[in-house]
Amino acid sequence: MYDFTAPFQHPAGSPIRELFKYLGEPGMISFAGGYPASDLFDAEGLQAAAAKAWQASTRCLQYGPTDGLPELKTQLLALMARRGVTCAPEEMLVTTGSQQGLDLLLRVLLNPGDTALTEQPAYPATLQALRLQQAHVVTVPVDGDGIDVDNLAARLASGAIVRPKLLYTVPTFANPTGATLTRERRLALLRLAVQYRFAIVEDDPYGDLRFAGNAVPSMLALASEVEGSRDWIVHFSSLSKVVAPGLRVGWAIAPAEITRRCVIAKQTVDLCSTPWTQAIAAHYLEAGSLERHLPHITQAYRGKCEALCDGLRAQFGEELAFHQPEGGMFVWARIPGVVIGTLLPNAIANKVIFVPGKAFFADDPDTASLRLSFAAPNVDEIREGVARLKRATHATRTASVASVPA
Amino acid sequence: MYDFTAPFQHPAGSPIRELFKYLGEPGMISFAGGYPASDLFDAEGLQAAAAKAWQASTRCLQYGPTDGLPELKTQLLALMARRGVTCAPEEMLVTTGSQQGLDLLLRVLLNPGDTALTEQPAYPATLQALRLQQAHVVTVPVDGDGIDVDNLAARLASGAIVRPKLLYTVPTFANPTGATLTRERRLALLRLAVQYRFAIVEDDPYGDLRFAGNAVPSMLALASEVEGSRDWIVHFSSLSKVVAPGLRVGWAIAPAEITRRCVIAKQTVDLCSTPWTQAIAAHYLEAGSLERHLPHITQAYRGKCEALCDGLRAQFGEELAFHQPEGGMFVWARIPGVVIGTLLPNAIANKVIFVPGKAFFADDPDTASLRLSFAAPNVDEIREGVARLKRATHATRTASVASVPA
C-alpha cells in the first residue's frame, strides 16, 4: 500500500533486540543484553535527587532549553573536568542518551555516500545509524588493543581509503570487544585525523567502569597533546551505564559550530530531552553521588568479569579464545571451528543466550565470534551460564563435526 | 574547517526560539511562547504518580522497550478509546513528544524531493522537519474553518499537485491559527487521501483543550466513516499540552507496518523514550488524574482567551481582524497595513512580545499577521499586554505612515 522506498531500509530491526524474546523464559541465563545490572542502581541516591529536583517542580514539568538544563550542563562540565577535559557550555549538548548524539551528528555532517569509518566489530546501532544516513561504511579491524591504527594509516596513505568524513570508535572497553585503545594508538589516531581532516567520533559510555589496569585518558582529553586535533573530535558520553539508562541522559561535546547545528536539528527532532530526569541527574551529580556509588558498580563488575573469564578458562581451556577486559561490560570470544549461528539454538535449548558476533560486522563477519556481557547476571548465574555454554558447544560440535572445518 | 554540505541546512534555528531572549526581561508580557501555563500543572497529581512509579524503581531506571512501556501503552489506548478511536498496541508508538513522531515518520516515509503538503500557515518545526528530510513542500491555504479542502481537491484534480506523499495538518485548534477543521471538511479530506493515496498526518496535541463550542471527532476517529481511509492516517498526540511537556511523552498511531518501521528507526535514534517519566505518565493516567484536572486547565484557558479576544476588540476595533478559537492556546490575528516585522521592535520596546506570522509560512508570507498565545500570561497581564500592543501599533503606524500602504 505505502511506498516504502525511503532511504531508511532496515526492516529487520536490531539483531540483538531479536534475542529479547528469550529473556523472559524461566531459568534463562543471559549474556546477551547490553543492559547494566538493575540491582546495582543507586536507588537511594536517585530518590534523594528526585526529591530535590521536585522542589522546583515547574523546572521538571515545563519545556527546557534544547541544549539541556543549564544546571545539568554545569554538573556535566565539572564531570568532564574531573576526566581531564575542559570545555565550554556552547560545546556541550545534552541528548536523549548518547545514541541520540550520534544520530544528530550524522544528520548534520554526512551526505549520502560520504565515507564513514568504523572499527570492526562495532556497535550495531552505529552501523544502523550510518545506514540510515546512507553513509559508505568502511571498516578498520580491531585487536586486543583497540582499532588497528597502522592498518588505517597505511590505507589512508595508499589511497585505498579516500577522504573519510569521520571515524566512529568506542576506544575504552569497546562494545563488543571490551578492548581499550592504547595511549600510543590514540595519539597516532589524533594525528591522522588532523592530517586527513576527518572527525573522530569518540563514544565513551563505559570509560568510568574501569576495575583493573591503569586509566587511559579519553581521546578528547589527549587532544591537548596533538596540535589542531581538538577541532576534529566529537565526544559522546552518557549516564546510562554509570547511573541509570532510565534517565535517558547523554551528552555530546563538539566544536561549537557543530554543537550549534546539532542543537538546531534537535529542535526539530524532539525539542528537548526530558527536563524532569535532567533535573534529577543534575541533583544526583551535584550531591557527589556518582563518585560515591561508582565503586560499588565497578567492584561488582570486577567480580562478574572474573567469574566469567575464570569460568571460560576452566570450562573451555584452549578451545575458546578471549581477551580479558579491564572494565566495561563485555567479553569478546572466539570458538574456532564452531559456527556461532549454529551454537545459538543449542545454547537456547540449554537456557543460556549471548549475541553471535556476526551482528557486529558491517562486512565479512567472523562467524566463530560471540559477545558475552557479564553485567546483568550474578556470579552464580555466570558460572552456571558458562557451564551451559560449554554443554551447548559440545552438542554443536557433535552434531556438526563432519561439516564444519576445525 | 568542516564541510557543512549535509542535507540539513537551516543554521538560523527556530524563529520562535530567537524570541526567547526577551522572555527574561523584567516586566515583559509574552504572547510568544507555545508553552502551556506552568501554574496550571497538576503538581499534586504528578507527585502522587511519581511516588507510585517509584515503587517499581527498576522499571523507572532501566531501559524500556523501544515502542514504549506496555503499562503506558495500555493507558494511552484507553485514552484514545475515550476519544472514539480503537487501535491495537502494534499500531502505537510512544515518542519523545509528538515532535519525535513526525521526525521518525518523515524518515521512514519520505524520499528527498517527495511532495509533502502542509497547511499554511503551519507550525514552523514541521516545516523544519520537512526541510531536514528534503521534502518538496507544497502549501494549502487555511481559513477560519481549517485547511481549504476544496482548494486542495481542485489542485489535485487539475494535476497542479502531483502524487503528494503526505499532508500534515493540526485540524483541531491549529498552531498557529487556532482554527478547527469542520466535520465536513475532515470527511472530504479523508476521501481525497484514499483517492489520491497520500497519508494524512494528523497532529492533535490540543484537541482536549476545548472550552467552547461542540467537539469534532479527530480525523482518526472519523476514518471509520470513510472506507479505506484508516490505512492512510497517521495520528500524533501528546501529554505536553494537557499534562506537562517535561514528561516528554507523546505517541503515534499508524498502520502497523508504518509503526514497525518507526520503531526500528527509533532503535537507532534514541533506543527508547524516558522510561521514568513514561512510568509516571502511566500512573497519572491510571489514577484518572487527566480527566480530573483537565477542566481546571480548560476553564483557565477559556478566561484567558476571552480576556485576549475582548481586549483585542476593545483596543483595536476594526483595525485588527481575528477568529476567536474554541480551544487550544492560540489566536491568529491580522493588522492590515502594518508590517509586523516593523511592529515587533516597537512591541518589545513596550514590553510585550508575540510571534510575527511570517515564521509560519513556507512561502509567500502574510506580513500583516501575528500569533498571540494566551496560555502563559494571566488575565491581568493579557489585558495590559493588549494595551501595550495597541500602543506599539500606534507607534508603528505613526512612524511608517508614509511608507506602508494602508
Q: What is the pLDDT of residue B6?
A: 58
**In this complex, do A61 and B43 lie within 8 Å of one another by their Cβ atoms?**
yes
User: Which letter does DSSP use for residue A237 in this model?
Assistant: E
* Chain A nearest CA to B10, separation (Å): 8
Cβ pair A129:B64 closer than 8 A: no
What is the structure's pLDDT at A237?
Answer: 98
Question: Can you tell me the mean pLDDT for A125-129?
Answer: 92
Q: How high is the pLDDT of residue B15?
A: 66
* Confidence band of B399 (pLDDT split at 50, 70, 90): confident
Query: Residue by residue, what is the 3-state secondary structure of B111-177?
Result: CCCCEEEEEECCCHHHHHHHHHCCCEEEEEEEECCEECHHHHHHHHHHCCCCCCCEEEECCCCCCCC
Taking Cα atoms as reference points, which of A199, A201, A202 lies closest to residue A172? Answer: A202
A248·B275 Cβ contact <8 A: yes
Which residues in chain B have Cβ-Cβ distances shorter than 8 Å to A269?
99-100, 103, 269
Of B199, B265, B276, nearest to A246 by CB-CB distance is: B276
Mean pLDDT of A62-88: 97
Chain length of chain A: 406
Q: Lowest-confidence range among A217-221, A239-243, A360-364?
A: A360-364
pLDDT tens-digit map of B152-163: 999 999 999 999
**Nearest CA distance, B96 vs chain A (angstrom):** 6
The whole-number pLDDT of residue B5 equals: 58
| pLDDT recorded at residue A9 | 53
> Does the structure show a pLDDT above 70 at A48?
yes
Segment A31-44 shows an average pLDDT of 94
Q: Tell me the mean pLDDT in the region A211-220.
A: 97
User: What's the pLDDT score for residue B395?
Assistant: 95
Residue A20: what pLDDT?
A: 75
Residues in CB range of B6: below 8 A, 6 or more apart: A107, A108, A109, A110, A111
Q: In this complex, which of A2, A41, A62 lies closest to B246 when CB atoms are compared?
A: A62
Q: Which of A343, A335, A394 is nearest to A368 (CA)?
A: A335
B15: Cβ contacts below 8 Å, ≥ 6 apart: B124, B355, B356, B358, B359
Which one of B274, B280, B283, B329 would you mutate to disrupt binding with A, by most A Cβ within 10 Å of its Cβ?
B274
> pLDDT tens digit string along A150-206?
999 999 999 999 999 999 999 999 999 999 999 999 999 999 999 999 999 999 999
What chain B holds in terms of domains, given with CATH numbers, is: 17-34+293-399 (3.90.1150.10), 55-287 (3.40.640.10)
Residue A33's pLDDT band, with cuts at 50, 70 and 90, is confident
What is the pLDDT confidence band of residue B197, given thresholds at 50, 70 and 90?
very high
Q: Please give the Cα distance from A128 to A164 (Å, whole number).
A: 18
Order of strands, edge to edge, in the sheet holding B250-253?
Answer: B92-95, B250-253, B233-238, B199-203, B166-169, B115-120, B136-143, B146-147
* Residues A56-66 pLDDT 10s: 999 999 999 99
Residues of A in Cβ contact (< 8 Å) with B248: 270, 272-275
For the segment B116-126, what is each residue's pLDDT rounded down to a tens digit?
999 999 999 99
Contact A302, A211 (CB under 8 A): yes
Inform me whether the pLDDT recorded for A75 exceeds 70.
yes
At B44-68, the pLDDT tens digits run 999 999 999 999 999 999 999 999 9
* Average pLDDT over every residue of B4-23: 64
Query: What is residue A225's predicted lDDT score, i.e. its pLDDT?
Result: 98
Q: What is A323-342 written as a DSSP string?
A: ---SBSSEEEEE-TT--HHH
pLDDT tens column, B254-292: 999 999 999 999 999 999 999 999 999 999 999 999 999
**Predicted confidence (pLDDT) at residue B330 exceeds the cutoff of 80:** yes
pLDDT in tens, A163-172: 999 999 999 9
Interface residue of A269, A272, A283 to substitute, partner B, most B CBs within 10 Å: A269
pLDDT for residue A405: 47
- Dump the DSSP string for B166-232: EEEE--SS-TTT-----HHHHHHHHHHHHHHT-EEEEE-SSTT-B-SS-----HHHHGGGSTTGGGG
Instruction: Report the gap between the CA of A96 and the closest CA in chain B (Å).
Output: 6
- What pLDDT is stored for residue A7 in this prediction? 53
Which are the contacts of B24, defined by CB distance < 8 A and separation ≥ 6?
none
What span, in angstroms and rounded, lies between the C-alpha atoms of A15 and B379? 55
* Distance from C-alpha of A332 to C-alpha of A355, rounded to nearest angstrom: 10
Tell me the mean pLDDT in the region A324-328. 97
Quickly state the pLDDT bin for B97 (edges 50, 70, 90).
very high
Helix or strand holding residue A31 (H, E): none
Q: What mean pLDDT value characterizes chain A?
A: 94
Whether A270 and B103 lie within 8 Å, measured CB to CB: yes
**Are B1 and A231 in contact (CB < 8 Å)?**
yes
pLDDT of residue B25: 86
All three cell numbers of B186: 475532515
Put simply, the answer to whether B2 touches A246 (Cβ < 8 Å) is no
Does residue B351 sit in helix, strand or coil? coil
Cβ–Cβ gap B13/A62 under 8 Å: no
What pLDDT is recorded for position A406? 42
**Phi, then psi, of B219 in degrees rounded to 5:** -60, -40
In this prediction, residue B406 carries a pLDDT of 42
Rama region for A382: left / alpha / beta (φ>0; ψ in -120 to 50; rest):
alpha
A147 has pLDDT over 50: yes
Q: Report chain B's mean pLDDT, rounded to a whole number.
A: 94
Q: Which member of B2, B7, B63 has the closest CB to residue A245?
A: B63
ipTM of this predicted complex?
0.94
Query: What pLDDT, on the 0 to 100 scale, is given for residue A12?
Result: 56
Return the pLDDT at B404: 46
A2 to B129: CB separation less than 8 angstroms, yes or no: no
Q: Distance (Å) from the C-alpha of residue B243 to the closest C-alpha of chain A?
A: 9
Statement: residue B18 has pLDDT above 90? no
Contact B109 A6 (CB under 8 A): yes
Work out the percent of chain A whose per-residue pLDDT is above 70. 94
- Name the E strands within A227-377: 233-238, 250-253, 321-322, 330-334, 352-353, 355-356, 369-373
Task: Give the A:B interface size as CB pairs under 8 Å.
Answer: 224
Chain A contacts of B6, Cβ < 8 Å?
107-111
| Mean of pLDDT values over A270-295 | 98
Q: How confident is the model at residue B8 (pLDDT cuts 50, 70, 90)?
A: low
| Best CA proximity match to A274, nearest among B185, B402, B275, B375 | B275
The number of CA neighbours under 13 Å toward the Cβ of A97 is: 26
pLDDT of residue B22: 82
| pLDDT score of B400 | 62
What Cα–Cα distance (Å) separates residue A373 from each residue in A125, A173, A314, A327, A382? Answer: 17, 12, 18, 12, 10
Q: How confident is the model at residue A404 (pLDDT cuts 50, 70, 90)?
A: very low
